[in-house]
Amino acid sequence: MEVLLIAIVAIAGVAFLTTYIGQRWKSNKGEEEVEVAAEPLEECCGAHEVCETDLLNKMSEEIIYYEDEELDVYRNFEENDYNDDQIDEFREVLYSLKEKEMEAWLRSLELRKIELPSVIKSELVFMLVRS
């Protein structure tokens, strides 16, 4: 009976050790894979629906203009401070953008500290959800 109990404890100990060592080995291997994936790509291969370089552009602090330099005068405005003519300026830029440029335009406005008028925010959300 004691031999059976010792054998069960030994088997449980071996199973615990192999599981523990296997998990540690997988976690170390996973960290290496994450480091490799974080390296920036030189060019987009065009095989993806969304290019990885777009993700890199989102993370950058470089301001990209979308022929909307005139919107810089609205820096530090609140979303409800705009009149109809000013809202139309934002609308004109928004509707001239390609679908894939909309998120980057939002990032550009954010970096320039330009808040969208509330009406334009609603339109933009509708356009992004619809696509």
Q: Three-state DSSP class for 75?
A: strand
Residues 6+ apart with CB under 8 A from 112: 63, 71, 72, 75
Expressed as residue numbers, the domain containing 28 is 1-39
Same domain, 30 and 77: no
Ranked by mean pLDDT, the top range of 46-55, 92-101, 121-130 is 92-101
In a domain, 45, yes or no: no
| Under 8 Å between Cβ of 125 and 75 | no
Beta bridge partners of 89: none
pTM of the model: 0.55
Mean pLDDT throughout 110-127?
A: 92
Burial 21-37 (b: 16+ CB within 10 A, else e): eeeeeeeeeeeeeeeee
The whole-number pLDDT of residue 34 equals 45
What's the pLDDT tens digit per position in 18-62? 777 777 777 666 555 444 444 444 455 555 555 555 555 555 678
Same domain, 65 and 126: yes
Q: Tokens 């959800």 label which residue? A: 129
Same domain, 13 and 58: no
